[in-house]
Chains A and B, each alone.
Chain A
Amino acid sequence: MSVNNINSEISDAIVNLDKEKAIDLAKKAVSENLNLVDVIENGFGKGLERIGDLWKEGEFFLPELMVGGNIMQDALNILLPHLKQTGDTFTKGKVVIATIEGDIHSIGKTIVGTMLSANGFEVYDLGADVPIDKIINEALEKEVDIIGVSALLTSTMIGQKKLIEILKEKNLREKFKVILGGAPVTQNWMEDCGADGYAPSAIEAINLVKSLIK
């Protein structure tokens, strides 16, 4: 099967939110030794782009975005190990995200994580109620570009500031870009913390990450 044909089938499978088909095609691409970077960008990536267009047109909503993103992740899980072997890279950047310690809200962060993955970023989602040192250790271990921290409570927001202070104390501040999220986070708070940005919505978070990793 030619790459063009399979790419068009893959793109359709993503837009149709057909997980089974998408995974089958990913396996097929591997077994037929196709150019996997091409398959990822022009097959799966194209499908995701079409989902994004449908979103902009008001045809697709968050559930479709999440399901599409999850299918994309499942496909990448099949394809990426083979990329490592051939020496190609795909990742646009690496991000660790978490909801700060003491705070168990997670849905916004989860949406952001899924959409970042779907957009080709390598995402390490540590979940909710995560201690600061765990976030920092993971960031160091995985050599991420961006640390994203979410807080939904006025009482836990202070953890966002503390994380940045600890990065400074350990002389690690320059190593990472730090972005904040969560309903009570404002521009003022972001500046007060000395963070590199904040996004009031998942879509804006993706754009922010893209702009910070150049």
Chain B
Amino acid sequence: MTIIRPKIKLLDEEHQVEILKEAKDILENQGIFLENQEAIEIFEQNGIARDGNHFSIPADVVDKCLKSAPSKITLYDREGKESMTLQKDQIHYDPGSAAIFILDEKTGEIREAVSKDFALFSKIVGHLDNIEAQSTALVYNDVPKEAQDWHRLYTALSHCYKPIVTGTFRKDSFPIMLEILLTCRLSEDDLARKPLAIFDACPSPPLKWSDLTTQSLIDAARHMIPSEFVSMPLAGASAPVTLIGCITQHCAECLAGIVITQLTKTGAPVIWGGSPAILDMRQGTTPMGAIETMMIDIGDVEMGKYLNLPTHAYMSLSDSKIPDGQAGFEGGMGALLAGLAGVNMISGPGMLDFESTQSIEKLLIDNQIIGMVKRLLKGIIDHGTPFASEILKDYNETEELLSHPSTLNLFKKEFFFPSLIIDRMNRDEWKAQGSKSIRKRAKEEAIKIEKKPYNNPIDESLQKELDKIAFEGMKK
């Protein structure tokens, strides 16, 4: 048994209480900006006072809505098989959504993505054991702008069976995306009972829920599709520069999301999430690899856990443009901290350059990092006493423990087995193999996986149904 599941905590209960209180005060006294007509009507029907587009949400409404938001969400794959439950400290990773560039692993070029890049990306995600969910990871430019959101969902599900994190770019796309999801289920009820997709919705800092993102919350809630709030305060620019101030703003923005979804439909599944960052005060950029960014994420997630909700964060990314040392430590620290924090859905493997670029090389490296993280989280295992003394007595007879029964029985449970992407060769062997960097090894691994058959390939008849929807959608 695991002795201790390693954990990191940055806030004590006293501060969690204070942050929540202040977030509720902000909603009640400063209000939230709403411009979506349906949400405005829902708020007015619920007696929430307005001043122009600002709505003052009373604390008791927030409390009531918090009570009805579910504390766990189970996701199912394309075929309807149970895949994962987002609750407590159970962690899962997905590649992060909506990059617009691909770092081409074959040519080394950073270029705008096309649909076949995303098809390959999704196929590869299907082969990675440590990445439990897929995402609409790439926006590609060889379909019309109006189709760029829903077409990714079509491509993703055609090439990978895993539950998917996605989202809309236009209000009109929701019905098409719903139709795509329904091809994988028997009915709307079946989809509601066995969700396949999470819809990301991002409030605009500070304290605004836009027309599009509010509509996404409402549409998803009505169909019991989980909404993931991706609140993104920018510390020092569109949020207080202090980490604690940023966390408080994030809390207010997410609480507003809770109110919007629960007033639309009581019990609508939601995930308390975000993609905050600090502002780099030199470059004016939003470093996802900054330690402070990760600390804000951890604080945000702790607030979600305090409220007994499933949690999410964008961690495991790097601001480097290539999978180099910086990408290694930023991605590695992010993946590790997210695991220690117990984030239920961690978006980020594969991502570079401020969430703008996906890299298959980095994805494969991240998959190994995640394997290490998961091993850490299993902790030190108590296999029963004595821990060592009997084994050491046996050593006197054999003068080695490699062939000892305990070694044979337990080595696969105790150790994480990285792929050959991680170099543990001796130096001569490394030279003989071409003195390769990790990036080179990841590239070769990517090319190998590309040649493999699909993991859990899609059923032909389902593919035909998806093709039909895509065809009709493109005509429009």
Contact = CB atoms under 8 A, between A and B. Distances in A.
Does chain A bind chain B? yes
Nearest to A203: B284
B208 A107 contact: no
Q: How large is the interface on A (under 10, 10 to 19, 20 to 34, 35 or more residues)?
A: 20 to 34
Interface residues of B, number: 24
Nearest to B234: A107
A111 B208 CA distance: 20
A58 interface: yes
Interface stretch (A79-87, A138-146, A180-188): A180-188
A155 B354 contact: no
Contacts of A188: 112
Contacts of A154: 98, 100, 139, 145, 148, 169
B169 A155 contact: yes
Determine the main DSSP class of B at the interface with A.
loop
Contact of B145 (A158, A183, A186): A158
B160 to A, nearest CB: 22
A147 to B, nearest CB: 22
Contacts of B238: 107
Given A58-B282, A154-B148, A183-B354, A107 B237 contact: yes
A58 B281 CA distance: 10
B204 interface: yes
Contacts of A105: 204
Given A104-B204, A154-B139, A183 B356 contact: yes
A184 B100 contact: yes
Contacts of B237: 107
A68 to B, nearest CB: 14
A155 B284 contact: no
Interface in A53-112: 58, 61-63, 102, 104-105, 107-108, 111
Contacts of A62: 279, 281-282, 284
A155 B282 contact: no
B446 to A, nearest CB: 25
B302 to A, nearest CB: 26
Contacts of A23: none
Nearest to A55: B282
A153 B212 CA distance: 12
Contacts, number: 42
A153 B279 CA distance: 19
A201 interface: yes
Interface string B130-151: 0000000001000001001100
A155 B170 contact: yes
Contacts of A155: 145, 148-149, 169-170
Contacts of B266: none
A111 B280 CA distance: 13
A119 to B, nearest CB: 16
Contacts of B169: 153-155
Interface in B412-467: none
A128 to B, nearest CB: 9
Contacts of B210: 104
A135 interface: no
A201 B284 contact: yes
A202 interface: yes
B389 interface: no
Contacts of B234: 107
B403 interface: no
24 contacts: A61-B281, A62-B279, A62-B284, A63-B236, A63-B281, A104-B208, A104-B210, A105-B204, A107-B234, A107-B279, A108-B284, A154-B98, A154-B100, A154-B139, A154-B145, A154-B148, A155-B145, A155-B149, A158-B145, A184-B100, A184-B356, A188-B112, A201-B283, A202-B284
Given A155-B169, A183-B354, 7 more contacts: A62-B282, A62-B284, A107-B279, A108-B284, A154-B98, A155-B149, A183-B356
